[in-house]
Structure 1
Amino acid sequence: MNRADQVAARRPRYQDDLSRGVARFFQPRRTDCPWCGSGQLEVRLRTPDLLQHKPGRFILERCRDCRHTFQNPQLNHDGLEFYYRDFYDGLGEENLATLFRGRDRSYRLRAGAVTPYAEPETWLDVGTGHGHFCDAARAVLPRTVFDGLDISAGVESAQQRGWVRRGYRGNFVGLAGELAANYDVVSMFHYLEHSTDPGEELAAAHRVLRPGGHLLIEVPDPQCRFGRLLGRWWLPWLQPQHLHFIPVGNLSRRLTELGFTVVAEEHAEPHDPVDLLTAAWLAVSSLAPRRDEPWFAAPPGRVRRVLRGTVLAAGIPVTTAGWLLDRLLKPVAHRAGLSNAYRILARRDDR
């Protein structure tokens, strides 16, 4: 089935969802910080969906006391299903798979972050998607057995391909009892920001690890200066999917409270030099007419299709300049406060 037929087949369901409005996709707005409980909140960002262009407006608020940033009001279960639909799977699966396939070097570097501290026999990658990290990491850790966990069907295909020994499909917090004390390493690469309750996820990781095991976390850094300079065009805000942005100090303290010891913290190496490129792309694409998607009532006509191609072509010099600047800035990104992600390795030391 070609893409036009897939869009047409999905349109009735989307139109039925939207006929009831998008307000039903949100929980009531919080008046306190979900991380520290403070009532000192301020709006940090208001934005539409800049990637899929699904209807809705989203707000990120920041706690003045602990600096935790979170989506408020937060999507509920139905909202998460609606906005995730056709992003990582369905219509978006091929594009995302292409992106993940091209990142083997970064996957190997992530695996290598553990080797100075441990030689794991078993490793669980939470939020593994289609298992690309586990497949690439075997080049660094050939004796380690990798399992994957995800809510999407991608983890099942990862098991079928042999990229993971076992693919668990479901909610990590719900499966933690079944997996208790089974793993030497648990990894969460750009996973915590998607979770509705990061504290519960960290507690689940503690439960799944053996004493002495390691938890490896990589998340967007909300203290990155690009977040302020680029505003809504900063890709790591990724609304509406990213629900929580945790400053590194907050995460370190919470891990310590749970019985972990932080053994490594990295900012320079996890930085992905794409901030200006993606900001340029998001800005240009926001000016172009939309392509056919099932959440729009009807497909665009010929004139709008031609205009879209023209606008995107005109934006190529802008995105190219962004790509070049990202690479020029990469060697100094950490020193300039421009690293867009950080990584923490913590050891479970309690018994």
Structure 2
Amino acid sequence: MAYSRTAAPAATECAWCGRRFGGDDEHRPGRILCARCGVATTSPWPSEQQLAQAYALWYRPAAGRFSGLGDKVLKHTRSTLASRLHRVLPEGPVLDVGAGDGTLVGAFRRHGREAVGVDPYASGSHPHVRDVELEDMTGAWSAVVFWHSLEHLRQPVRALRHAADLVVPGGVLVVAVPNATSLQARVFGDRWLALDLPRHLVHISPQALLSQLAALGFRVERVSYLRGGQVLFGWLHGLVGRLPGHPDLYDAIRRSAARQAPQSPAFRLYALAAAAAVLPVALVGSAIEVAARSGGTIYVEARRDTDAVIG
């Protein structure tokens, strides 16, 4: 299940802007920061086989990913997101990119709104999640949602352009991604939770994302450095990971069948107890970075002009 960097070639161009890398780009462990657009590209660049291994059944098993109440919390947050978007979207279907087990799709459909998901690494057998790429989709959609999926795509800007062509006038592009320039990303560096190599292929700054949405002719209506989730947990995971033994809190809260590496009960208890101990510090860190608009994630809703012409 481990990612072998030596078996993959180094990235030669920026996955965001397409610029060929040169001597002025910053090489960091596992990624290269583009001097032109400020987006980092995972390097070495994983093969399709390596990505298939990274998304194997252990990553998102049918029985659920998290122990305890984790999966119920996940379902509740997706339901809350669907409820909010259902109120602000025009009539029409919703397309969820990177739909996984279909939790968000199901939440929209419970509101009576047609919804479809796409995910080439889909888990389970949700009847409304298709095992295809976004570029295979056509039609007119009230919204296209990239909920922590854009960073997983090999050609994220091309995906945004295709999604923009699918959105009806007055419709919305919804994007939530890790904020690669966040305070927690700077504090925890190569141990930051949201690097998630090799699954995260691009590491995006708010400026790059917002500029691209504007270039597509979309009007940004909402930007949040909290709504995208994972802010507090990013701090917890980073703080716990700095302790002796570098315990992996994310693995600790997952079911045993969904862990990247085995954990003994004692070591898992150590990670969970440490998380409880550092919670006050994590809360302070989260509050500071959200107030500074430098939160661990960025969530954006951008609306297409009602006078826009599809196609």
Aligned ranges for residues 253-272 of structure 1 at < 5 Å? 253-272=211-230
Q: Given residue 322 of structure 1, which amino acid in structure 2 is its aligned partner?
A: V
Counterpart for residue 65 of structure 2: 95
Partner of residue 167 from structure 1, selected from 113, 117, 129: 129
Q: Report the Cα distance in structure 1 between the residues aligned to 2:189 and 2:216, rounded to whole angstroms.
A: 34
User: Displacement of 1:85 after TM fit?
Assistant: 1.8
Counterpart for residue 78 of structure 2: 107
Partner of residue 200 from structure 1, selected from 139, 158, 167: 158
Counterpart for residue 17 of structure 2: 35
Q: Report the Cα distance in structure 2 between the residues aligned to 1:310 and 1:101, rounded to whole angstroms.
A: 25
Q: Report the Cα distance in structure 2 between the residues aligned to 1:246 and 1:170, rounded to whole angstroms.
A: 24
Partner of residue 276 from structure 1, selected from 213, 235, 239: 235
Compare relative contact order (CA 8 Å, sep 6+) and give the higher one, 1 or 2: 2
Counterpart for residue 39 of structure 2: 68
C-alpha spacing 1:332/1:22, structure 2 compared with 1 (3 Å): closer
Does the CA contact (< 8 Å) of 1:33 and 1:41 recur in 2? no
User: Displacement of 1:336 after TM fit?
Assistant: 3.8
Partner of residue 344 from structure 1, selected from 291, 300, 305: 300
Counterpart for residue 158 of structure 1: 126
Does the CA contact (< 8 Å) of 1:284 and 1:311 recur in 2? no
| TM-score of the superposed pair, with normalisation by structure 1 | 0.72
Aligned ranges for residues 1-351 of structure 1 at < 5 Å? 23-24=6-7, 26-30=8-12, 34-35=16-17, 37=19, 39=22, 40-44=24-28, 46=29, 59-90=30-61, 94-96=64-66, 99-114=70-85, 117-137=88-108, 142-154=111-123, 157-159=125-127, 166-173=128-135, 175-176=136-137, 179-181=138-140, 183-272=141-230, 273-283=232-242, 287=246, 308-349=264-305, 350-351=308-309
Does the CA contact (< 8 Å) of 1:151 and 1:171 recur in 2? yes
Q: Report the Cα distance in structure 1 between the residues aligned to 2:41 and 2:277, rounded to whole angstroms.
A: 31
C-alpha spacing 1:239/1:136, structure 2 compared with 1 (3 Å): same
Listed as ranges, the gaps of 5+ residues in structure 2 are none
Q: Report the Cα distance in structure 1 between the residues aligned to 2:177 and 2:287, rounded to whole angstroms.
A: 20
C-alpha spacing 1:216/1:79, structure 2 compared with 1 (3 Å): same
Q: Given residue 30 of structure 1, which amino acid in structure 2 is its aligned partner?
A: T
C-alpha spacing 1:100/1:332, structure 2 compared with 1 (3 Å): same
C-alpha spacing 1:191/1:33, structure 2 compared with 1 (3 Å): closer
C-alpha spacing 1:31/1:243, structure 2 compared with 1 (3 Å): closer
User: Displacement of 1:137 after TM fit?
Assistant: 4.2
Q: Secondary structure at the match of 1:75?
A: coil
Q: Report the Cα distance in structure 2 between the residues aligned to 1:200 and 1:128, rounded to whole angstroms.
A: 18
C-alpha spacing 1:337/1:226, structure 2 compared with 1 (3 Å): farther
Q: Report the Cα distance in structure 2 between the residues aligned to 1:202 and 1:29, rounded to whole angstroms.
A: 21
Q: How many residues align?
A: 296
CA RMSD of aligned residues (A): 3.5
